[in-house]
């Protein structure tokens, strides 16, 4: 396989998680009687441009299906993050009724509804019908398609270039990252701004967040690599914000290469952090597998200990990262009998691979578990605050990444 960005032959394995089904391919009861599709889940690193990427097996149309079950609006923390972002960029870039905001991978309208409320014209681009329908019910116009250079040309030909293009947690999800980035340039007005948010590879390595690896994430990104990808398309990163979301993310601000905006000091700062961390050093990547295995083994030991003690254990949050963790560890319902989730789209279904049933959140009150393993550790505080009532019967919350912790 060659690098998806620079075409250099890939020789170095960053992480091998064996075989797993797509992490958002939730199952119905009837699905349990049929064969389940598994793909290799292996990450390779390019020693030329340092893009970390999945081995080339799964395709986007096999992952982002019409009944895609991830709805962004389920998390109150994420809704607040989106609202604050919308208010900030509207002020900073003087967005008005004469502007156009395009969001790529607009999901259920969690972000664009803020621009609708402010009277700022917008367009969502979203290939999954389930989430697009939810956005349209909010009055958000949605183009149901995958974004790339061809679609961007169609938009530009219709006079629909954007003053602001937003992409939150989509840049890592595209199989052809060069085509996607060329599309960003084509769809952007001459003095427009692009903002992309994505988990920071440096934080993934630092905090052993291997459970954020799944087939839908084709790329794992550093600022250094993103700047190379942008430059190839005639774009430039002129500012970067370090965010706490998803265990540590970056928000890059991009513009056309010829734009006169000067680079913000934050760009040099993050590049220096990445260099000192060793993101251009192969040993940083080759040592990660053993650290991931240590986390996996710690989870299994913890669950086995709880079973020996006669403790009732439940999970909370049927998140993709939880599916990666449970499938790599080989956890089944004998160790984790159910997971609760607030998303109606997931309730009554089963986790892919492990076949653990997904129950509504109020099942915690009914079953009164002793330990609740929060799989989406990035919203641990939100979950513990929302379900503080479990303390009434002495239940404790736990997380597995970067190591077992109990509160």
- Of 228, 260, 285, the one marking the end of a domain is 285
Q: DSSP secondary structure string, 157-173? A: HTT--EEEEEEES-GGG
pLDDT value of residue 71: 66
The model's pTM is 0.91
- For the chain, the distance separating the N- and C-terminal CA atoms, rounded to the nearest angstrom, is 44
For residues 274 and 294, membership in a common domain is answered with no
Structure tokens belonging to residue 180 = 């996607």
Beta bridge partners of 194: 165, 254
pLDDT value of residue 274: 98
Beta bridge partners of 339: 315, 358
* Helix, coil or strand: residue 25: coil
For residues 240 and 207, membership in a common domain is answered with yes
Q: How many domains does the chain have?
A: 2
Mean pLDDT, consecutive 10-residue stretches, the chain (407 aa), reads 96 96 93 94 97 78 53 78 96 98 95 97 94 94 96 97 97 95 98 98 98 94 98 98 94 97 98 98 97 98 98 96 97 98 94 98 97 95 95 97 94
Residue span of the structural domain in which 267 resides: 146-285
- What CATH number has the domain bearing residue 158? 3.40.50.150
pLDDT value of residue 272: 98
For residues 387 and 311, membership in a common domain is answered with yes
Eight-class DSSP state of 62: H
Eight-class DSSP state of 30: G
Whether the ω angle into residue 402 lies within 30 degrees of 0, i.e. cis, is: yes
Please count the residues of the chain: 407
pLDDT value of residue 78: 87
For residues 349 and 259, membership in a common domain is answered with no
Q: Strand pairing of 101-104 and 162-168?
A: parallel
For residues 220 and 267, membership in a common domain is answered with yes
Q: Is the Cβ–Cβ distance between 1 and 42 less than 8 Å?
A: no
């Amino acid at each position: 396989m060659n690098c998806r960005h620079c075409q250099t032959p890939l020789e170095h394995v960053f992480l091998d998680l064996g075989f797993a089904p797509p992490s958002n391919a939730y199952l119905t009861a009837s699905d349990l009687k049929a064969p389940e599709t598994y793909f290799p889940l292996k990450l390779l690193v390019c020693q030329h441009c340092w893009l970390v990427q999945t081995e080339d097996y799964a395709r986007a149309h096999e992952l982002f299906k019409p009944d895609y079950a991830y709805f962004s609006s389920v998390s109150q923390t994420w809704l607040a993050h989106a609202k604050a972002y919308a208010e900030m960029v509207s002020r900073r870039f003087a967005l008005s009724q004469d502007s156009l905001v395009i969001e790529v991978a607009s999901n259920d309208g969690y972000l664009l509804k803020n621009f609708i409320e402010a009277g700022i014209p917008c367009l969502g681009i979203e290939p999954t019908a389930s989430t697009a329908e939810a956005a349209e019910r909010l009055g958000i116009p949605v183009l149901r398609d995958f974004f790339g250079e061809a679609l961007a040309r169609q938009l530009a030909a219709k006079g629909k270039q954007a003053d602001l293009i937003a992409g939150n947690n989509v840049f890592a999800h595209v199989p052809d990252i060069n085509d996607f980035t060329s599309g960003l340039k084509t769809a952007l007005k001459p003095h427009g701004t692009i903002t992309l948010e994505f988990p920071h590879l440096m934080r993934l390595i630092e905090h052993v967040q291997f459970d954020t690896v799944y087939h839908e994430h084709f790329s794992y990104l550093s600022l250094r690599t993103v700047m190379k990808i942008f430059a190839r398309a005639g774009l430039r990163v002129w500012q970067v914000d370090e965010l706490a979301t998803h265990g540590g993310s970056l928000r890059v601000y991009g513009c056309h290469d010829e734009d006169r905006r000067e680079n913000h000091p934050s760009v040099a700062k993050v590049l220096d952090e990445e260099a000192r961390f060793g993101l251009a050093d192969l040993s940083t990547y080759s040592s990660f597998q053993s650290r991931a295995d240590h986390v996996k083994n710690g989870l299994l030991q913890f669950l086995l200990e709880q079973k020996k003690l006669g403790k009732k254990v439940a999970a909370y949050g049927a998140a993709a990262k939880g599916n990666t963790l449970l499938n790599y560890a080989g956890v089944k319902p004998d160790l984790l009998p159910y997971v609760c989730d607030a998303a109606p789209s997931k309730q009554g279904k089963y986790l892919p691979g492990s076949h653990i049933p997904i129950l509504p959140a109020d099942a915690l009150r009914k079953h009164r578990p002793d330990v609740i393993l929060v799989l989406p550790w990035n919203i641990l505080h939100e979950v513990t605050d929302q379900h503080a009532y479990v303390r009434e019967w002495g239940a404790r919350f736990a997380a597995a990444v970067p190591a077992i912790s109990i509160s």
